[in-house]
Amino acid sequence: MAETLLVVNAGSSSIKFQLFEIAGDELELEFRGQMEGIGTRPHLTAKDAEGQQIVDDSYEREAVQDVRGAFDQLDDWLIAQLNGQAPRVIGHRVVHGGPDYSAPVEIDDTILDRLQELVPLAPLHQPNNLAPIREIRRRYPQIPQVACFDTAFHRNHPEVADRYAIPDEFYRAGVRRYGFHGLSYEYVAARLREVAPDLAEGRVVVCHLGSGASMCAIHRGRSIDSTMGFTAVDGLPMGTRTGQLDPGVVLYLVQNRGYGAKEVERFLYHDGGLKGLSGVSNDMRDLEASDTAGARLAIDYFVYRIACATGALAAAMGGIDGLVFTAGIGERCAPVRAAVVERLSWLGVELDSAANREDALVISTPTSRLQALVVPTNEELTIARHALRLVRGAVGPSEEEATV
């Protein structure tokens, strides 16, 4: 059997995975799937490269209460699919690389300990990213594992973009604007060179809109600035995260409402965003289906902040040539895209309504001064490429870097 490469993208209630066959320097998708509903309604699904269902199993809640239980079930299924042959390498998405890691790394105990120290900067994600790494190291210590960081794509920002207006000692200690969703932005930047090469050389604002949401200014394939900062709670409102918030609100909660650190963390990460504004749901599909004033407000606020951030990111690049939508809402929610484009009509962007309804690649009209595109992201493929290069000991820049 040919060598394979497994990619694991673990969250708080799900483990997404993709398996690739290594064919020389190419990676060919074998199947993709996820174990979702961990701790509630565990459900394993997977489809092959042609989109055909190959597994659709549900489990008792007691059997999959945490990541370890989920991996027990997933491990058994994967071993059966691979006829007992272990993957050549396993790549992982790790949200925060901190000031130390600006490129993918092969994981050892020292690196794992350092990444654990970054948990307070990404409390929703980092613990869940690291849990399957530990479990795999315990079961299969001989398999190389590679960590790929959501912060890495943004590490070449100008210093002025990454600083806060605080004393230098804090910057040197790592208190700076990192930016996130970098694996998604890296994939989109590379994909633009294939589908819109002229635009890829220009100034593009990419909107990664999902339960976690951010935006990035990309010029000639490089990140210039991002809406997210020190943690993944800054910038746009998200499913349950507040997004941009005056720090004085936190002081008010502590001084006047008696909040402690844990209560503040819950407020910022779990009680805000679309859920907090709407009082209905953190899911855009639920909000669109709702006729409540809160749901309408949440959608309007989301669109408003996207439009405002577009102007700021365009200023960081000295102009804008294109707007790209990606991730769950960005790829599949035509009404949100239409509302954003309408608010940005002053930039000269014109929407092709029919193309937008069909989630087409290009959703702007031929006469639009600004191009608007929908580019589905693939963080797992980006991780797979990095992991393969690293374990093969490739020297020099990646293909994507070399062609920028």
Catalytic positions are 150
Residues 6 or more apart whose CB falls under 8 angstroms from that of 119 comprise: 126, 127, 130
Residue 21 is inside which H or E element, if any?
Answer: strand 14-23
**Which one-letter amino acid corresponds to residue 242?**
T
Structure tokens at 382: 């980006």
Main-chain phi, psi angles of 281, to 5 degrees: -165, 160
- Burial class from Cβ neighbours inside 10 Å (0-12, 13-18, 19+) for residue 92 reads buried
Structure tokens at 383: 């991780």
CA pair distance 146, 161, nearest whole angstrom: 29
308 three-state secondary structure: helix
Query: Which residue bears the tokens 């174990």?
Result: 35
CA pair distance 225, 219, nearest whole angstrom: 10
